[in-house]
Amino acid sequence: MRITEVKASTACSPSKLPGLDWALNPYRGCSHACVYCYSADILRMAPTDKWGASLEVRKNLPVLLAKERKKKKGVIGLGTVTDPYQQVEEKTLLTRYCLEQLALGDSRVCIQTKSDLVTRDIDILARMNNPEVGITVTTMDAEMAAKLEPGAPPPDRRMAAVRKLVSAGIRTWVFLGPIIPGMNDSYDSLAEVVRGAKIAGASKIIYDYLRLKPILQERMLKEFGYEKAHVAIRDSVDREWRERVSIDVEILCEEHGIAVEKVF
């Protein structure tokens, strides 16, 4: 992993994602190296750049936030194109320092992560204005998760983090996505995530399908081979497959008594 420190010119940028007014990304790149991630396309990285091999640390963000927090009203999303809890966050404390600044203002914070390290910052979140945390769990199968998300904490640790956040009074939901044909789309696989989220006390399940981008498709072909990747790429845009997945997820959530939302 190649790690460099950079200076940003602004901390928060306008967000186009539903429910978020601003985006705050303490890092650029991601050590989780998820095969399905489309952030490389959004960040306009070169196709030759190996996703997960480099990370930029935007070290001056807390200072910028101290100047911006009074102007940035609304909901600030942490982790829109990168996970705010990278492996180096344990040492840099960059996301924690950002949260400390945000806690001094009145904007709401919404964090999305795959890391149980978020529980370290419960003390700050408890002081904030109705914060929420979304934890991504694509599958409870540790072996499949290791193939899809090689640098991320295993799914059982993520569900444990949901339980700990909920116990601390932090509104927490589970993001089930992306759902990928032939990898984590079976009824049993979806059921394990929904069941785990309910037991952990998550407020709801938000789900989404694989969303294809050029660099992402090349990465999947390289990691999984033509046959398996081709099925995933082909079926992910198939209307019947999407309808089947939606029905499965929503029936499972109904059976387990947990709220459900589709991303778009």
Cβ pair 86, 56 in contact under 8 A? no
Longest dimension (CA), the chain: 52
Cα(12)–Cα(64) distance, rounded to whole angstroms?
A: 9
- What pLDDT band is residue 46 in, cutting at 50, 70 and 90? low
pLDDT tens profile 144-170? 999 999 999 999 999 999 999 999 999
For residue 150, whether the previous peptide bond is cis, meaning omega lies within 30 degrees of 0, is no
Distances (CA, A) of 10 to 58, 61, 95: 10, 8, 15
What is the DSSP-derived secondary structure letter of residue 44?
Answer: T
Is the full-model pTM beyond 0.85? yes
In this structure, which amino acid lies at residue 245? V
Q: What residue ranges define each of the domains in the chain, with the CATH number in brackets?
A: 2-262 (3.20.20.70)
Q: What is the pLDDT of residue 49?
A: 65
